[in-house]
A = this chain, B = another copy of it.
């Protein structure tokens, strides 16, 4: 299998590690174009499950060491899936909206929480980190195989598609505290960039919310803020 270092412009990405690979094989099967097994892969159970899914779905499998040197810096990666990028379209309902997120690990961690809290639509306003970056996919622990992520060129583009959603921008000076703000269904939880947060004009959109914390920190880490928002928004569903 010819493997090159990942590039954003390619139409394939890579899922690294058994956990992530299994999620793709189970939930995005038709987009798995090949599986690469490390010669030292010893987890026989997992190898058997992978082999059986690949056989059934006619997915090519090879055993080869070199791709691991090209794609994986982590020592504990013994299986890689080559995955065609799935251009998803988000659907009506509850959304997470990320405005200009810049860190691949953060985006992946948010995907994982979103899938956990049953929010399977993620809108990403560009410029933004590449949602197909193998670092994003790995941080998502495979949630990337299941959530829908759609890129929008501007927040206005997003809003034109979902004009009736209830907008909740998360801002350090949001006028309403998270724990005192009822979140209505068909919500859009909107969070800004890691370093800069949301632009000022979002304070005029919907109901701005703040997650109160001491002044000893500048802000919460982005996936933490996003996950607390999702936890609160869905707390009555469980």
Interface residue ranges, A against B (CB under 8 Å):
19, 109, 112-113, 115-118, 141, 143, 146, 177, 179, 211-214, 216-218, 220-221, 223-224, 227-228, 231, 235, 238
Q: Are the C-beta atoms of A221 and B118 separated by less than 8 Å?
A: no
Which residue of B112, B179, B218, B220 is within 8 Å of A113 (Cβ)? B220
Q: In angstroms, how far is the closest chain B Cβ from the Cβ of A206?
A: 22
Q: Hey, which chain B residues are within 8 Å of A231, CB to CB? A: 211, 228, 231
Which of B117, B217, B220 is close to A214, meaning CB atoms less than 8 Å apart?
B117
Asked if B179 and A217 sit within 8 Å, CB to CB, the answer is: no
Cα separation A89 to B71 with both chains bound (whole Å):
43
Closest B residue to A235 using CB positions: B179
- For residue A177, which residues in chain B have a CB less than 8 angstroms away from its CB? 238
Q: Compute how far the CA of A227 lies from the CA of B228 in the bound complex, rounded to whole angstroms.
A: 8
Q: Within the complex, which residue of B179, B213, B227 is in contact with A220, where a contact is CB–CB below 8 Å?
A: B227
Let me know if B143 and A217 touch, CB within 8 A: yes
Name the one of B141, B211, B217, B218 contacting A217, with C-beta atoms under 8 angstroms. Answer: B141
Docked pose: A16 CA to B237 CA in angstroms: 42
CB-based contact A216/B141 at 8 Å: no
Contacts of A146 in B (CB 8 A): 216
A112: chain B residues at CB < 8 Å are 217, 220-221
